[in-house]
Amino acid sequence: MTVAVTNDRTYSRLLGDLALADPRLVVLTAENRAAIRDLPERLGDRFIDVGICEQTMIGMAAGFALRGRIPVVHALATFLTLRAFEFIRDDVGIAGLPVKLIGGVPGFLSEANGPTHQAIDDLAVMRAIPGMQIFCPADESELLAGLPDVLTSPAPTYVRFNASATRLHHAPFELGRAEVLCDGHDLGILAAGLLVPYVKEACDILSGEGIHARLVNLRTIAPVDEEAIVEAATRCHVLVVVEDHLLVGGIYQLVCEVLVRRGLSVPVLPFGLDARWFRPALLPDVLDYEGFSVAKLSERLRRAHRHRIAASRSAEVVDVHFEPLPSVSNGRSTP
């Protein structure tokens, strides 16, 4: 898509530019305007705020798509993927309509809101819809790089919205194509979304200590770049999956499915949320508490590397469990 992009490189700006260049695009929101504040003025009647009505928004988006439009719908990720799940499944998924679902503050980005707002199961439910594409941008630049392809693809697509400040230099975007951010063979790390830049920093620290990890940013979960997973598994012999999602139905399980299907037997260590919600707080505190700050990730990756060495010497089954975090019991974190 050719488009005159304005200098202000924000999601809102780019989406507005793309919509002005392509009259098929309409923007809907369930009164969630944080990321699209300037669009009512720019798009006029192609900006539709339905109020706090996620189900109605999705049904209407299907109606718009039946008329040849490409609806880009916005709501908080939990309410979008869960409250409106059946509408997405039935009206968008069964029909295979090109509705673009933009889920705000997914995973740890819900910060101090508490478990009701924690989209840590969104990948699980979106993956369960046949034909649904899933894009997990690592930062704002990746979000903007992927947006044109997402919008022009004929498939329904869920975007785990993340416009965090860019700290990485990304390879050119391609749907279904991972990028390798660090090359090494001591550890294979698979991640997507918010945590990628933190893992990259941790990898840089480990690299200074002589531990060279291969960091693969999957970017899209569906379609997923199976070859990138296979390559990491065959080069590194032990994999770590980092995700701000439940272990059920997220990237960890996706990776395991690929390995089993491809007949690869490799230890896979999950850094994710094991059957519990995370402790609500501001993002830096969440990351530290849950073990995903750069310092905590570095330590956990060092330990994973030691496991790998031990496993290669003894051929014992690697213990994938790390020490439990303090004072958090299953499903009952007490804020």
Partner 1 sequence: MTDFAEVERIARRVRAHAIRMATGGGCFLGASLSCADILVYLYTHVLRTSPARREDPTRDYLLLSKGHDVPALYGTLAELGYFPTARLANHLSTGDHLYWHPNRAIPGVEFHSGSLGHLLSVGMGIALEAKISGGPSRVFVVVGDGELNEGSVWEAALVASAKRLDNLVVIVDRNGFQANLATESLIPLEPLADKLASFGFAVSEIDGHHLPSLGEAFATLPRRPGSPTAIVAQTIRNKGLPSLEGRAERWFVNLSPAEVQMLLQELEGSSPATLTSEPLVVR
Interface residues toward partner 1, by CB under 8 A: 26, 45-46, 48, 50-51, 53, 55-69, 71, 86-87, 90-91, 94-95
We find the least distance from the C-beta atom of residue 44 to partner 1, in angstroms, to be: 9
We find the least distance from the C-beta atom of residue 27 to partner 1, in angstroms, to be: 12
Closest to partner 1 by CB, 86 vs 183, is 86
Closest to partner 1 by CB, 20 vs 168, is 20
Handedness of CA 265, 226, 173, 85 (dihedral sign): negative
Sheet strands side by side (includes 220-222): 47-49, 25-29, 70-76, 100-104, 157-160, 133-135, 220-222
Closest to partner 1 by CB, 51 vs 324, is 51
We find the least distance from the C-beta atom of residue 52 to partner 1, in angstroms, to be: 9
Closest to partner 1 by CB, 34 vs 52, is 52
We find the least distance from the C-beta atom of residue 103 to partner 1, in angstroms, to be: 19
Chain center to CA of 164? 12
Residues 144, 280, 330, 241, Cα dihedral to 10°: 30
Q: How far apart are CA 238 and CA 322, in angstroms?
A: 15
Closest to partner 1 by CB, 69 vs 219, is 69
Query: Cα–Cα distances in Å, from 49 out to 1, 26, 37, 44, 144?
Result: 26, 11, 12, 11, 23
We find the least distance from the C-beta atom of residue 48 to partner 1, in angstroms, to be: 7
We find the least distance from the C-beta atom of residue 37 to partner 1, in angstroms, to be: 21
The backbone torsions φ and ψ at residue 149, rounded to the nearest 5 degrees and listed phi first, read -65, -40
The string over 247-282, giving b where at least 16 C-beta atoms fall within 10 Å of a residue's C-beta and e elsewhere, is bebbbbbbbbebbeeeeeebbbbbbbbeebbbbbbe
Closest to partner 1 by CB, 68 vs 208, is 68
Burial label for 131, CB within 10 Å (0-12, 13-18, 19+), is middle
Closest to partner 1 by CB, 94 vs 112, is 94
We find the least distance from the C-beta atom of residue 154 to partner 1, in angstroms, to be: 16
Closest to partner 1 by CB, 62 vs 266, is 62
The backbone torsions φ and ψ at residue 217, rounded to the nearest 5 degrees and listed phi first, read -90, 110
Strands (E), the chain: 25-29, 47-49, 70-76, 100-104, 133-135, 157-160, 179-182, 187-191, 213-217, 220-222, 239-246, 268-273
Residue matched to tokens 């956990």:
300
We find the least distance from the C-beta atom of residue 88 to partner 1, in angstroms, to be: 11
Beta bridge partners of 241: 190, 270
User: If you write DSSP's letter for every residue of 92-115 in order, what string do you get?
Assistant: IIITT---EEEEES-GGGGGGG-G
Closest to partner 1 by CB, 43 vs 181, is 43
We find the least distance from the C-beta atom of residue 66 to partner 1, in angstroms, to be: 6
